[in-house]
Amino acid sequence: IQPIDSERIIEIEDGQRMQVGSRVFELIHTPGHALHHYCMVDAQARLIFTGDTFGVSYRETDTSRGAFIIPTTTPVHFDPEAAHASIDRLMSYAPEACYLTHYSRVTDTPRLAADLHGDLDAYVEIATSCADSGNRTADIAEKLTAYIYTRLDAHGYDGDEHARNAILQGDIQLNAQGLNVWLTRMEKQRANKRSAS
């Protein structure tokens, strides 16, 4: 593998603007899913390319109620407070649509943002309830599965367990791993504070 010449690399900063053809995008730092994460805002078209900051949404789970969305809490930088702040920052642009890496275009962004906020709080509660578990990641995944599938039912999704698992279990397992890493990081921070005092 040949490295890219450093002259071809552009380091970006929060709020930097970049022109692509006739469009101007504002690049905004949106940590929470990952420390390095940026989103691209097209204020003129009122749309945002969100990467993983605005969760994941599969068209297979769309119902008459619209898109179904869940947050990404994958390893290793998940930070719930930063994730909430980044979602709020995205919504401050009043986007008509968000373009997700996984997957596609979603609208009704205020509802989806509220869903993501609720899910982040629920995920943290689930993770902390498993803090003393001997098999933390598996227990978190089990509780996430129950929580997300209950939400799917309320959303009007009628796929069977096999269909749900095929669509969502990969994300659930990764999210459980990320929540476990987050719990471990919080435990280390608390231990460091105790030893410093």
Task: Give percent of the chain with pLDDT exceeding 70.
Answer: 100
What's the average model confidence in pLDDT over 48-77? 96
pLDDT at 180: 97
What's the average model confidence in pLDDT over 89-104? 96
What strands, in cross-sheet order, belong to the sheet with 97-100? Answer: 16-20, 23-29, 38-42, 47-51, 97-100, 104-106
Sorted by where each starts, the structural domains of the chain and their CATH numbers stand as 14-191 (3.60.15.10)
pLDDT at 10: 86
What is residue 41's DSSP assignment?
A: E
**Residue among 38, 71, 36, 51 nearest 178 (CA):** 71
pLDDT above 80: residue 197: no
Average pLDDT, the chain: 95
Residues 58, 62, 67, 73, CA torsion sign: negative
**Least confident window among 1-5, 57-61, 182-186:** 1-5
What is the distance between the alpha carbons of residues 16 and 10, in angstroms, rounded to a whole number? 11
Q: Is the pTM value of this prediction over 0.85?
A: yes
What's the average model confidence in pLDDT over 126-138? 96
Tell me the β-bridge partners of 63: 66
Residue 105 CB neighbours (<10 A): 13
